[in-house]
Structure 1
Amino acid sequence: MARVSDSELERIKREVSIERLVEASGVQLRRHGADLIGLCPFHDDHSPSLVVSPQKNLWHCLGACRTGGSVIDWVMKAEGVSFRHAVELLRNGHSPLAAVPARPVKQSTVTKLPCPFEREAEDEELACRVIDFYHETLKSSPEALEYLAKRGLESPDMIERFRLGYSNRTLGYRLPAKNRQAGEEIRGRLERLGFQRPSGHEHFAGSLTIPIFDEQGRVVEVYGRKIHENLRAGTPKHLYLPGPHRGVWNWEALVASDEIILCEALIDALTFWAAGFRNVTTSYGVEGFTEEIFKAFKKHGTKRVLIAYDRDQAGEQAAQTLAQRLLAEGIDCFRVQFPHGMDANAYALSVKPAAKSLEVAIRGALWMGNGQPPARPRPIVPTPSENAAKGKNETEETGPGSASGAEGPASASRSSPQGPGPAVSSQGPAGGLSPLAASVEPAATPLPPGPVADVPCKVEGENVFMVVGDRRYRVRGLAKNLGYGQLKVNLMASRRDDFHLDTLDLCVANQRQAFAKVAAGELGL
């Protein structure tokens, strides 16, 4: 069971009024000193034995029940539900719809929270609604968000784009009981889809959930990762829907780019994506490069694959086996080299900033074929400091001699996908490139010539970009300044691989001076 934090329990006990909760249950209270008294609804009470203390927000029955407690204990006893179910009811603003019955039920089978989907929904719609429920649960779950932060995956845009979710076992509280016709039908369908087990428990309970969608937007696979380490012996940390793996994660990247970073696990792929490398997809483990992924590479004309499997024995062997297969099909392969024993996520967390460390790993990727790497046009490699700031690949040219030079891999893309496939919009919500895919334009352009007197600027959504000599500036937040008394912005200055980022009020002289001083040091001016 996903644990409710102590701070959340204390908040509920403090903010939910026991007086109003008791009165809403049909109990008439009257003042008795500092307390309130009334007839206890949990036994045949003729002399007021129920005491409610508004100051302490507690209740107690001095009669036959000889029990009491907080608002949580009241809901458990009044509604006949478990502790966790009572917490969930109070979290969702539960208010009794009727008085407590003369003989309170010990265990209720009546659904008290709204079901997140219609009984008549088709299986495809049902799966999507489950993913939506998990997604909303994650956004309101401190423990799940803390886990993502611990893994360096804090991007709200990433959470939204890939519909990340969290299963905390509260879905069952919203479903009709299995002893009712509607409950038997819905729960049976969820079991058939793989979201529920024959025992009635949620398959992904206690797990971060990452869905995989096909090109029609249907849920075809779900990956679950337990967020707690104190698991019972034998409990797997990694879960998928029952049956063979299906789907290609972030398939839009294959449409937009002919060079793909291929990871071993979804957490690693999200790590690359969050660092600004959007041309990334993943296998489902070392043995999980499916025929469907291979066919997608062929369908969309993938030319180069940067294999970013874990740097352990299993990862090395799987990378070699996969490279032989891809090379035989005319797809160039390079091996991204992490330190021994590390995967992409561990490396990004150990060597910060992640954007730079992963860029170094990509530039140092080794050719996996025989002989010399194939000659190809000089590529352009992303500058992750700008990727992270702008949300798309912005790059600079690299010199020869590295893996990203004339004979090595780089993040490349094309203006139109090769082969059949749906059209992919390159516009994100703010008019920039969609963070789901690599750029449909070249990943970046060479630095423009020196500025003219009026310093031309480029506006993309809420971002304003300017170039002055070898320095680049990005200004964000101008539109939020609605008066003349301040000019608060988020300003980033960058020069080659170095950058300085801060939020300041440009109307305040000492803040401008402090930014200029620190930026000059960071950029080596």
Structure 2
Amino acid sequence: MLGQILKDFDACGIVGEATNKLTGYLACVSRKLDRPLAVIIQSTSAAGKSMLMESILAFTPEEERVKYSAMTGQSLYYLGETNLKNKILAIVEEEGAEKASYALKLLQSEGELTIASTGKDDQGRMKTEEYHVEGPVMIFLTTTAVDIDEELLNRCLVLTVDESREQTKAIHDLQREAETFDGLKRKVERDRVLTIHRNAQRLLKSLHVVNPFAKQLTFLSDRTRTRRDHVKYLTLIRSITLLNQYQRPLLEKGGLQYIEVTLEDLATANALAHEVLGRSLDELPPQTRRLLEQLKAMVQARCETEKIDPELCWFTRREVREFTGWSNTQPKVHLDRLEELEYIYPRRAGMRGSAYEYELLFDGDTETAKPQLVGLIDLQKLGYDEKFTGHMAEFAGLKRPQNGAITEPPLAAPSSGKGASRRSLPKSRNAQTGHNLHVVVS
């Protein structure tokens, strides 16, 4: 089913972003659960975060989503008792809900809001009135902020928009196609596909989901914030099962009706969790890590061209702007973050006054350094047979998922020649070994 959902997103003109599309779709389905997921889409300006949110929301029934551009601090408390129950609350920019952030956190954690407010009765005397907003509600936000409120971040899945040149080219191709007859046909097909999905989601019921493998599952436990991440992981599993409720037998025991999680559901959840939840444990924001990848490529290219050691390949902010094509603000913000976390080191050039040049301290592989969620159980131990192939080949379960801690790559050997005489600096130890993620779901 998830493979077909991806095909339908493509048919509607939403190119790439496979993980984001599926995670967002499943998060919207979780509105039917007692503890729904919450999602924040993070990207730089004009990267397409609002378009991604709008595209995902378009697959859900209009009557089951509520969308605002901004919210005042007290507005959530007066929405009425059932106005948000089992619905999606979408806010276009997280900054627009800054004043209501406390209420949003409570609504996500507690599933309801209650406030006592003063008013006047018919005789003009002061009285206390209680207002109650009943959940649960799935919260959907977007933001351009690099640093997100920690309390809100802990409660949400963070999705980051693909800002690669390949994705931009694919979007340009699609935009040009929209001006052709094929684009007109796609527009008509989009309306048909969305109607099917909205009607299908109207048929979804709020069923109990039982996970017969729950006690055998494992999860990273080296920090306290994983307590909430673990709940997100379990909710993601239940959302996948709930989506497939009409493909599962309705069981009954002790007067309770329920559907059960399958090993295929676990394989899909593990695949998505590696990227989505692994990202939340990364010390670098996604845009900062993207700049680190480009710095690594820039330094390697210059070292090969100029035949110098990486320690002597210093660079300025201007050179970073020219290489990345970014505006002045973006490199400044992310270079400061990389300097703070010791991925780069500022060097004052004597002839440039107060101008700085930077040295890249990070000597790991930017691909293997990408975050991965470790500690998940090897599904083969539960009898899972990886035999599923098809449209979602990139989301199939690992044959042998990593269950131990992430290891660090060895530090680079000391350079010879010119670089050997320089003052020794502590190299970044933030690189982590990862593994290729291959998941197959029918």
The normalised TM-score by structure 1 is 0.21
Asked which structure has the greater RCO (Cα within 8 Å, sep 6+), the reply is 2
Higher percent of residues as helix: 2
- Whichever of the two has the greater Rg, that structure is 1
The normalised TM-score by structure 2 is 0.24
